[in-house]
Structure 1
Amino acid sequence: METPPSRSVHLEDISRRPALMVSWEKFRYRQAHWFVECVAEFMGVLIYTFAAVFQSGIAYGAGLALAFIVCASTSGGHFHPAVTISFVITKKFPPMKAVRYIASQILGSYVACLLVYVQYNGLIAQATKALEAAGTLNSVMFTPQGPAGIFAFYVLPGANLGQVFLNEFVCDFIFGMVIWAVIDPTNPFINTIITPWIFGLTLSLLIYGYSPIGVAINSSRDVGGRFAALTIWGPAAGGGTYAVLASLTNLPATFFGAMFYELMFTDSSRVVTASSLAVLAGQKALEQRRQDIRGVPSTLSGISYTVDLETNKTRGS
């Protein structure tokens, strides 16, 4: 096998894009990079929500995996306000950028729900009429089994909100811990190929196992869906106390799960894996290239890495 080149190979080195696309890329780097990142967060949550509005479990997991595959390389793949907030607190993620990300995430869920409503409006209207004819519409409309429950999260009447809170908190805590385990660059069991599917599998397991009690897990999906239900059915779709619980509990719970992993399992003495170094080297080369296009001297410094694909060993320079 040939030894790979020591410098990074960019897409432009192997594939010439149309001049219009090249001009657009340069414009993005110089003036619209923040907008494209927000579009990626918007589209990621839209894909994730759109895939699973009528489904549960595996559909949510597959939707999240697809969101990562399509959009994460552009924005970093937060797709979750709790992840964005955790990055602000622990990884110096810019606060104003976080606000844009969270707004984009919620908007993605909102638009996805409205799209599904427009696509299935006829069937939803038929189901509503059938429930009304049976005399059960008022009792089920704003429950998990009702038409509004397609888009917004609700719990069954009489549900113990303390139990629902505990269920939500534990699931979110586990999800936060898994997120931090997956992004740990020293974790030898993770590489970029399986990352989307680990996230998707975890989400599927949590929803399959614990959604009967009531679980939201992601504030962007919950708040966006809630806004969609309010847009369609008005204030009656608000969800009451549970709406507050569903939208807010996952924020601290996910963060606490991440911090638990950080405190108990992160070890600075462990060796960064070759796959993580390859990703870091690619990110560094991308940022250097963007700086060159912007005409701004790069502020990047430190060790540069290349990975020998034949031996899977890393060389530093």
Structure 2
Amino acid sequence: MASKIPFSSSNAKRVVYVSDVVPRPRYLVGWERLKNKKIHWLAECAAEAMGVFMYCYPGIGPTASFVIGSLTQEEGLSSVLQIGLGYAGGIMLAITICTGTSGGHFNPCITIVEMLFKGFPPLKGARFIVSQILGAYIACLLVYAQWSTLIKAVETALPPPTLAAIQYSPQGPAGIFAFYVSPTASLGLAFLNEFVSDFFIATVIFGCLDPSNALVPPSMAPVLIAMAYAAVIWGFTPNGLAANSARDLGGRFAAMTIWGRDAAGRSGYAAIAALTNIPATILAYLFYEFMFYDSDRVVPQDRREFYDILALHRRNGPAASAAVVVDTSSNSSVVHGKEYIGTTERV
């Protein structure tokens, strides 16, 4: 059942907006007004693209160092530990920098779950997914540009038969950007590896987003989600692991842009890397909702403050309409078409 709950005047008096303490030039104020009222979708898509870029860029760099170091037999350039830390750091940056604008999906599978179960608009979801893939694609192309001299030198130095045998594999130059498995690898085990890893990550994500989880304040969620990604990279990436459909598709499209259609790799594994994340994330969401989520728990103060900050946006939130719709059956707030998990604080 949904009901309107107005914010009280006392609550409104406590709000301090950024413009109250940091005045901005008139042209920027005009741009903000246009952006927030007319083309906020553009800012949201930019945030999703930048979030995935921030996630991928610090992880692909150490991967390039690791692969090039292995091919040139230069020890100590990188390691799986550094790759995991690179991706984990990128995820923390993505969540902390970009979430305030778009809500912080950064993964097509999270967007699909939002559309299937939380009423997220399909058109907006499609924009998000395209933006996420674009962010990974740009990250891969930029890393290639930065490493292109060394990559081309390695390709030139390797005997053609050797290069042809490893080019589209985890050990080859294309493997820096796209995900591959060896020709003899079991696709069934690759699917199992991807599914379990993705289920694990998604369960951590939904646990961190649970409004009643008192052990995970909003400021700690980026760290824990990042550590979940790092853990599966450290433990299971040698068996073939994408962990994010945008990272896989963006990287595969980038590899195909650089090396041609052959860079698509084995069609069976390409489908596993790109699509397994979807059912694994959906199953993790249903598992958490049915087994762990409890609407009768108390929402901690730091969570209520976090949702108030989102909901009280001057032009997009209840500050403009003096009301917020709260769905008491799912413990979620719907503000101007946007959903915020939890309830807003009333004074």
TM-score (norm 1): 0.90
Candidates 222, 241, 246, aligned match of 1:196: 222
Residue pair 2:305, 2:345 contacting (<8 A) in 1 also: no
Candidates 22, 28, 36, aligned match of 2:35: 28
SS, match of residue 136 in structure 1: helix
Counterparts of 1:18-167 in structure 2, within 5 Å, are 18-55=25-62, 56-132=83-159, 135-167=161-193
For 1:86 and 1:69, the matched residues in 2 are separated by 21
1:307 is aligned to: none
Answer yes or no: is 1:316 the counterpart of 2:340: no
Answer yes or no: is 1:208 the counterpart of 2:215: no
Residue pair 1:179, 1:258 contacting (<8 A) in 2 also: no
2:251 is aligned to: 225
Structure 2 residue identity aligned to 1:65: M
Structure 2 residue identity aligned to 1:239: G
Change (3 A) 1:315 1:183: closer
Q: How many Å apart are 1:32 and its aligned residue?
A: 1.1
SS, match of residue 200 in structure 1: helix
2:203 is aligned to: 177
1:280 is aligned to: 307
Residue pair 2:180, 2:240 contacting (<8 A) in 1 also: yes
For 2:12 and 2:216, the matched residues in 1 are separated by 25
For 1:30 and 1:270, the matched residues in 2 are separated by 36
Residue pair 1:45, 1:67 contacting (<8 A) in 2 also: yes
SS, match of residue 316 in structure 1: coil
The 4+ residue runs of structure 1 with deviation greater than 3 A are: 296-299
For 2:222 and 2:130, the matched residues in 1 are separated by 23
Where does structure 2 lack aligned partners over 5 or more consecutive residues? 1-10, 63-82, 329-343
For 2:86 and 2:190, the matched residues in 1 are separated by 23
Q: How many Å apart are 1:127 and its aligned residue?
A: 1.1
Structure 1 residue identity aligned to 2:48: E
For 1:239 and 1:72, the matched residues in 2 are separated by 33
Change (3 A) 1:85 1:13: same
Note the alpha carbon deviations across 1:72-124, whole angstroms, 9 max, x for none: 11101100000000011121111110000000000000111111111111111
SS, match of residue 57 in structure 1: helix
Candidates 238, 242, 246, aligned match of 2:269: 242
For 1:298 and 1:105, the matched residues in 2 are separated by 33
For 2:249 and 2:269, the matched residues in 1 are separated by 12
For 1:301 and 1:142, the matched residues in 2 are separated by 52
1:306 is aligned to: none
Paired positions, count: 302
Change (3 A) 1:77 1:212: same
Change (3 A) 1:54 1:131: farther
SS, match of residue 53 in structure 1: helix
1:310 is aligned to: none
Q: How many Å apart are 1:194 and its aligned residue?
A: 1.2
Q: How many Å apart are 1:316 and its aligned residue?
A: 2.6
Q: How many Å apart are 1:193 and its aligned residue?
A: 1.4
SS, match of residue 185 in structure 2: coil
TM-score (norm 2): 0.83
